[in-house]
Structure 1
Amino acid sequence: MPVRRLNHAVLYIRDVARSVEFYTDVFGFKVDVEIPGRAAFLSAKDTLNDHDLGLFAIGPDAPGPEQSRVGLYHLAWEVGTLGELADTARTLTGRGALVGASDHVVSKSLYAKDPDGNEFEIMWRVPREDWPTAQEATGPLPLDLQAALDRWGPDLATGAAAGSAT
């Protein structure tokens, strides 16, 4: 039986309050349950899940993720519109959390790190009819968010975050 989608992610973090503030501000998550100092369970607006993100504190001196080590590299979270992606880029930049951006041709992606160094991607899915053919496919390109906004506008809703499978 194949899986269909990611139901939720769980992260080990150093400080619950700090991580809750980050994920509610950047992602717009709401707190479903918080056990002060120990754990929190958050969810996205209109989710069908019990929670989308679990946070478990393991202490202020816990080592952070290390690049080029075995383990999770990042999780990708989807927004419904390019306007939301642009707003997220401003928020991440303001927090000093944005570490990269890529145009994957089929998606437009921002990369950032949370306060504990856990990397994540926030992406917008290009409309399926605008995906390249296999012969046209290219590798990741630098993201030109303004060019994408000029092409599709800030309000075109696509992908799962907009309630569509395409």
Structure 2
Amino acid sequence: MESLSKRPILGAITLGAFTAIATLALGLFLQYFLHRLLPERLWGTLAAREDLNQPAVLVFFTAVIFAPLFETILGQVIPIEIARRFGINRWVCVLISAAVFGGGHYLNGGLLHGLVTFFTGIMLAALYLMLRRNSPASSYVGVVTAHAVHNAILLYVLAAIFPSMA
């Protein structure tokens, strides 16, 4: 943590990249588990399927650049900062943020996508609050990095290896 305070942005980028690996592992486990638990009619559609039908440059810009920048503001920054101003406990802030993040993905991709992103949203919100101690900018950069790396690996590595996931 000492290096985070000396170089908060670089530390946030590094921690964000490592967090992306953890969110991917959690997301893959949850997707596997929930596919077996939930009936197929409740799965919904994966947003990535629609994205992959677009030109590659547009997919990259939308999923790896724009979505992390925009969704971090809507899913982590706004809910957490509003909750903090009301003096809400850190862990409740995490749950509020995860509910907003998962809820947005539920609306875009259905129940399975919403549940998986709720739990990965817990990790992103916890990262945001952990990095918030250094600076608001580093918390935003760390979460955007985690989200962007997560989406890039999911769309360009895992989707190529497991086409049925996308």
Greater relative contact order (Cα 8 A, min sep 6): structure 1 or 2?
2
Structure having the higher strand fraction is 1
Query: Same fold, TM exceeding 0.5?
Result: no
TM-score normalised according to structure 2 size = 0.24
Structure having the higher helix fraction is 2
